[in-house]
Structure 1
Amino acid sequence: MTDSETADSDTARPVAPRGTKLGIPTMTAMVVGSMVGAGVFSLPRTFAAATGVAGALTAWLIAGTGTLMLAFAFQALATRKPELDAGIYAYAKAGFGEYLGFFSALGYWASACFGNVTYWVLIMSTIGAIWPALGEGDTVLAIVLSTAGLWAFFFLVSRGVRAAAGVNRIVTIAKVVPIVVFVLLALFVLDPAAFASNWSGVGYGTLFDQVRATVLVTVFVFLGVEGASVYSRHAKKRSDVGKATVLGFLSVFAVFASVTIVSYGVLPADEIARLRQPSMAGVLEAAVGPWGAWFVSIGLIVSVLGAYLAWTLMAAEVMFVAARDHDMPRFLARVNSRDVPVTALLASTLLAQAILIVAYFSANAFDFALELTSALTLIPFLLSAAYLLKIAIRGDGYGADASVQGHRTRELIVGLLATGYTAFLIFAAGLSYVLLSAIIYAPGTVLFAMARREQGRRVFTLAEFAIFLVALGLAVVGIVGLVQGWIVL
């Protein structure tokens, strides 16, 4: 198949070469690789600015339980609906119609592109500690160098799925090591008095306020738990998708929580909150000296590049499958001879480039990209969790076997908890991020309209038009908020 060929029907679906089929270790590495990225290195400052030890433990308990339910939900959906590719998009479409499925694909894709921008901002901020011209990743020079990195990875990924996945597997191992070493060293020098003084989070408001203030951060660091599901068409066995999802989550949850909690035993919370990002470097420097900052900084660059690779793969894959299924324009379904969705990959790189330029004008480039990444992912997560709840209620995909029916009750509970958790996240994120997300969703609908026109169909059904009007109204309010200044980037 050449670059110019498109998958305009199910019969034209590209078949991955035998060499591109991925097993549990590689898919688990993709999950871990996409979860362990920029977020973990920013955790100490982000949490210390919002909560104390008690609030952090509560936030991680809620986030860990909720995300585990999401991991179980993706595992269950991979078993019950093995025919659905690119899970987080396909589940929304199968459960709630083409337009909401499109929203899920668009939101997930956009969130991946915003997330990729956080990686470059944090890399430049890290190097900026020794090269002031890069600032905190938000100077003109930092934008230029980040742009060079964006396009270098575009050419790497376009060379082939298996080559990129193999690199990610190696990088995943390399980047987990410094994070584990950070936790061990911080434990070794932990000051019980400092830890105790940071316990209650005095001055941060109620415990609920503290948890709510950190919730988008926990969403960001757990993004990627769905990674194996998104890339399911390349799995050797569909059952491997669910196993890789749960294994990947369990592999990183304890590490994330530990990085946050042990930092409270090294410095007072107000000092941690004033550290420059990546704050993990500042914490380790306080614990063991200047070499600690260097150690973390090198680990961060390796970690972020690996996560960027994984997210670039997933973003392009979602757009490709949506186009192949006629929910995006057909030009996004083009693949090259290496089975890479090259036009979807190009579109992802172009959007990341645009976000990088917008981030330059924001008050805090890293926080802007991080929080919008999380907010855009909430609708796709909510729809996927609600789809499991829907099929468990209806008994769809369970058959009549008594042993399988036993799983139905368990998955009904998982679907209910996962749906409730993601609904809480949307509430906790607040109205501003819902409005900013609508600014992406409403104009992005032009891609949905293009796909419908290509098929000679009406752009909207009555129900879809009603959803569009709601999204458009929210987008208008969001734009007014930006103009008048009560929404700040």
Structure 2
Amino acid sequence: MHNQTETGTVATSQTVSMRTLIALIIGSTVGAGIFSLPQNIGSVAGPGAMLIGWIIAGIGMLSVAFVFHVLARRKPNLDSGVYAYARVGLGDFVGFSSAWGYWLGSVIAQVGYATLFFSTLGHYVPIFSGDHPIVLAIAVSLLTWLVFAVVARGVTQAAFLTTLTTVVKILPLLCFIILVTFLGFSWDKFTLDFWATNGDIGSVFDQVRGIMVYTVWVFIGVEGASVYSRQARSRNDVSRATVIGFITVLLLLVSISSLSYGVLTQAELAALPDNSMASVLEAVVGPWGAALISAGLCLSVLGAYVSWQMLCAEPLAMMAMDGLIPRKIGAINSRGAAWMAQLISTIVIQLFIVVFFLNETTYVSMVQLATNLYLVPYLFSAIYLVLLATRGKGLTHPHAGTRFDDSGPEIPTAENRKHLIIGVVAMVYSIWLFYAADPQYVLFGAMALLPGLIPYVWTRLYRKEQVFNTFEWGVVIVLVIAAGAGAIGLINGTLSL
């Protein structure tokens, strides 16, 4: 059932079950990254550093997952978590920047997913290979608009497709784990040059730092249930789905990356193509193994593409409903789909397809840029939990409105201390990730955030509201300086995508 709201949008009934939320997390997290993981990590780290990296990433991303788990329970009235938490915690503009960054990260990820989908297909159907970039760009565009047509039909249809593709694409991953474990894994090869001291990939610290961006990329989507909490049947479902989804994904990632070092050496893994998991299984069972994983990759990327097409419109729709951008963008059709936000997202995806293909931007570059944009709401959500645990509320700001009431249940002192620890660990981990990232992509991320000032400032002026408070002016100044540095680097050629 759908109800008309006073803002002119339509409130949808809460119809997404916990099973679908878990599928949404796994479907959006297990995308292209897991299939490229052996080569990605093998190019920068040996087995020992890999294990250390996963310990750090596991603790760090678990703390991030628990941030959303805790906030979903403490603030059940807040919808679209990655946006709402940042807004209540640090003010309207920070909330807007988080949602804008999350949206752009999702848009860029869509281009990367579709590109990898067709490039893998191109191994078997040459017309889709990188030798035909125009054909590839057209194919990516057609897929984008096809998925838009599916998603625009409503949440139920898209959620069903997400659940179906999630189940199907997990099967090749399980086959990889079982076959490599019993047929191909060699402990002697795994422990050979355990710390990669014979290569030129740097110290153990450098290796651990090098794999951080890839461990974050393959975990992106763990907050998926929180993003879509507006459609959930209960907030308890959101928090449980987040934890169950995280543990499932972590087990898959650690198993696949560890087993690969028992089949091929670090140098051999580093030399593999993007779909490196297929090459690892091929080394164990022959060409049919590569074909199996390639089919799994295509299904996985397709499922992730649908999941992210669902997710990326939510921040736009929620900001529109709350008056941070024009309200018409939040329009919802009779089937419960935020069709205007979906249409805008699809158009922007199309624009990025043109820009990236003209610039011959690599899949890895898209990963780096999208990851940095995702880190913004992760960091701000962790800061909000720290504020809740220390002062009981977020920063005071004038425009939050009744939907962003910062009240909540009374939290026992002992439980509040646990929440503080979770928030601090997630905050430190997020800051460490910005440090570990390639600095140029931090600057490019600032450049991507800057255009968001146009609709935000226009809406503020139209509503005759204060544009920025003192704290927000400081954030804007930092953003403009970083974006300016990135633009200068692109102009003089010192930076490039």
TM-score tier, shorter chain, comes to over 0.9
Change (3 A) 1:293 1:137: farther
| 1:283-328 deviations in Å (ceiling 9; x for gaps) | 1111110101110011111111111111111111111001101112
Q: Distance in 2 between the 1:15 and 1:352 partners?
A: 26
TM-score, structure 2 as length reference:
0.93
Deviation of 1:423 after TM superposition, in Å, equals 0.8
Q: Which residue pairs with 1:194 in the alignment? A: 189
Q: Distance in 1 between the 2:367 and 2:422 partners?
A: 27
Q: Contact 2:93–2:472 (CA<8 Å) still a contact in 1?
A: yes
Q: Distance in 2 between the 1:392 and 1:104 partners?
A: 21
Q: Which residue pairs with 1:73 in the alignment? A: 67
SS of residue matched to 2:167: helix
SS of residue matched to 2:467: coil
Q: Which residue pairs with 2:176 in the alignment? A: 182
Q: Distance in 2 between the 1:248 and 1:272 partners?
A: 28
Q: Distance in 1 between the 2:491 and 2:254 partners?
A: 38
Q: Distance in 2 between the 1:453 and 1:131 partners?
A: 53
Residue identity matched to 2:35: F
Q: Contact 2:4–2:11 (CA<8 Å) still a contact in 1?
A: no
Q: Which residue pairs with 2:400 in the alignment? A: none
**Does the alignment pair 1:224 with 2:234?**
no
Deviation of 1:137 after TM superposition, in Å, equals 8.6
| 1:397-448 deviations in Å (ceiling 9; x for gaps) | 56556xx333211111101111111011111114212100111111221121
Deviation of 1:346 after TM superposition, in Å, equals 1.0
SS of residue matched to 1:204: coil
Q: Which residue pairs with 2:435 in the alignment? A: 427
Residue identity matched to 2:334: S
Bigger drift between 380-389 and 177-186 goes to: 177-186
Bigger drift between 479-488 and 69-78 goes to: 479-488
**Aligned residue among 99, 114, 121 for 2:115:** 121
Change (3 A) 1:287 1:324: same
Q: Distance in 2 between the 1:95 and 1:363 partners?
A: 39
| 1:230-274 deviations in Å (ceiling 9; x for gaps) | 111111111111011001001110111111111111122222222
Q: Distance in 1 between the 2:348 and 2:427 partners?
A: 29
Once the two structures are superposed, the pairs formed by residues 34-73 of structure 1 within 5 Å of their partners are 34-73=28-67
Q: Contact 2:9–2:332 (CA<8 Å) still a contact in 1?
A: no
Q: Contact 1:6–1:333 (CA<8 Å) still a contact in 2?
A: no
Residue identity matched to 2:37: L
Deviation of 1:130 after TM superposition, in Å, equals 2.3
Q: Contact 1:79–1:239 (CA<8 Å) still a contact in 2?
A: yes
**Does the alignment pair 1:374 with 2:371?**
yes
Bigger drift between 462-471 and 415-424 goes to: 462-471
Q: Which residue pairs with 1:475 in the alignment? A: 483
Q: Distance in 1 between the 2:156 and 2:475 partners?
A: 39
Deviation of 1:75 after TM superposition, in Å, equals 0.7
Deviation of 1:161 after TM superposition, in Å, equals 0.3
Q: Which residue pairs with 2:12 in the alignment? A: 16
Aligned pairs, number: 481
Q: Identity of aligned pairs, percent?
A: 38
**Does the alignment pair 1:409 with 2:406?**
no
Q: Contact 1:138–1:359 (CA<8 Å) still a contact in 2?
A: no
Bigger drift between 44-53 and 352-361 goes to: 352-361
Deviation of 1:356 after TM superposition, in Å, equals 1.8
Q: Which residue pairs with 1:134 in the alignment? A: 128
Deviation of 1:464 after TM superposition, in Å, equals 2.5
Gapped regions of structure 2 (runs ≥ 5): 394-406
Q: Which residue pairs with 2:265 in the alignment? A: 268
Q: Contact 2:43–2:266 (CA<8 Å) still a contact in 1?
A: yes
Q: Which residue pairs with 2:210 in the alignment? A: 213
Q: Contact 1:191–1:266 (CA<8 Å) still a contact in 2?
A: yes
Deviation of 1:120 after TM superposition, in Å, equals 0.7
**Does the alignment pair 1:288 with 2:277?**
no
Q: Distance in 1 between the 2:5 and 2:432 partners?
A: 38
Q: Distance in 2 between the 1:362 and 1:424 partners?
A: 30
| 1:7-34 deviations in Å (ceiling 9; x for gaps) | 673xx553213xx512211111111111
Residue identity matched to 2:459: A
Deviation of 1:176 after TM superposition, in Å, equals 0.8
Q: Which residue pairs with 2:396 in the alignment? A: none
**Does the alignment pair 1:110 with 2:107?**
no
Residue identity matched to 2:186: D
Change (3 A) 1:137 1:96: farther
**Aligned residue among 358, 362, 367 for 1:365:** 362
Q: Which residue pairs with 2:471 in the alignment? A: 463
Q: CA RMSD in A?
A: 1.9
Q: Contact 2:5–2:11 (CA<8 Å) still a contact in 1?
A: no
Residue identity matched to 1:172: T
Q: Distance in 2 between the 1:395 and 1:138 partners?
A: 57
Q: Which residue pairs with 2:78 in the alignment? A: 84
Residue identity matched to 1:181: C
Residue identity matched to 2:233: K
Q: Contact 2:75–2:408 (CA<8 Å) still a contact in 1?
A: no
Q: Distance in 1 between the 2:277 and 2:450 partners?
A: 38
Q: Distance in 2 between the 1:273 and 1:137 partners?
A: 23
Residue identity matched to 1:16: T
**Does the alignment pair 1:436 with 2:432?**
no
Residue identity matched to 1:14: V
Q: Distance in 2 between the 1:455 and 1:241 partners?
A: 34
Q: Contact 1:398–1:408 (CA<8 Å) still a contact in 2?
A: no
Change (3 A) 1:399 1:338: closer
**Does the alignment pair 1:341 with 2:330?**
no
Q: Distance in 2 between the 1:81 and 1:113 partners?
A: 28
Deviation of 1:462 after TM superposition, in Å, equals 3.9
Q: Distance in 2 between the 1:194 and 1:485 partners?
A: 42
Residue identity matched to 1:89: Y
SS of residue matched to 2:12: coil
Q: Distance in 2 between the 1:409 and 1:22 partners?
A: 32
Q: Contact 2:313–2:345 (CA<8 Å) still a contact in 1?
A: yes
| 1:101-135 deviations in Å (ceiling 9; x for gaps) | 11000000000111111111111121121233433
**Does the alignment pair 1:388 with 2:388?**
no
**Aligned residue among 456, 460, 474 for 1:452:** 460
- List structure 1 segments (4+ residues) > 6 angstroms apart after TM superposition: 5-8
Q: Distance in 1 between the 2:177 and 2:361 partners?
A: 28
Deviation of 1:348 after TM superposition, in Å, equals 1.1
SS of residue matched to 1:15: strand
TM-score, structure 1 as length reference:
0.94
Q: Contact 1:121–1:365 (CA<8 Å) still a contact in 2?
A: no
